[in-house]
Chain A
Amino acid sequence: MEKVEKQPLKKILLICSKASIEDVYAALVMGNGAVMEGIETKLFFTFFGLDAITKKTMNKLHTATTGNPGMRMPGGLPFPTMLGGLPGVEAGVSAMMRKQMDDLDIPPVDEFLELITAGGGEIYACKLAMDMFKLTKEDLHDEVNDVITVGELYEMCDGPGTQIVFT
Chain B
Amino acid sequence: MAEKTYAGVSVGINEEGYMTDASQWTKEVGAAIANDEGIELTDKHYELIEFVRTKVENDETLTIRGIGKSGIVDAKEFYKMFPGAPLKKATKISGVPKPSSCI
Chain A positions near chain B (C-beta within 8 angstroms): 29, 32-33, 36-38, 104-107, 111, 114-115, 118-120
Cβ contact within 8 Å between A36 and B85 = yes
Cβ contact within 8 Å between A118 and B102 = no
Chain B positions near chain A (C-beta within 8 angstroms): 61, 63-66, 68, 74-76, 78-79, 83-88, 102-103
B86 — which chain A residues lie within 8 A by C-beta?
Answer: 36, 119
Cβ contact within 8 Å between B102 and A29 = yes
Cβ contact within 8 Å between A107 and B85 = no
A-B contact count (CB 8 A): 43
Other CB < 8 Å A-B pairs besides A29-B102, A29-B103, A105-B63, 19 of them?
A32-B64, A36-B64, A36-B86, A36-B88, A37-B85, A37-B88, A38-B83, A104-B103, A105-B61, A105-B65, A105-B66, A105-B103, A115-B64, A115-B68, A115-B75, A118-B78, A118-B79, A119-B76, A119-B79
Per the bound structure, the CA–CA distance linking A106 and B65 in Å amounts to 9
Per the bound structure, the CA–CA distance linking A147 and B51 in Å amounts to 39
B64 — which chain A residues lie within 8 A by C-beta?
Answer: 32, 36, 115, 119
6 closest A-B pairs by CB: A38-B84, A118-B75, A118-B76, A38-B85, A119-B79, A37-B85
Q: Please, could you name 16 A-B residue pairs with CB atoms under 8 Å apart, sorted by A?
A: A32-B64, A32-B103, A36-B64, A36-B87, A37-B85, A37-B88, A104-B103, A105-B61, A105-B63, A105-B103, A106-B103, A107-B103, A114-B75, A118-B79, A119-B75, A120-B79
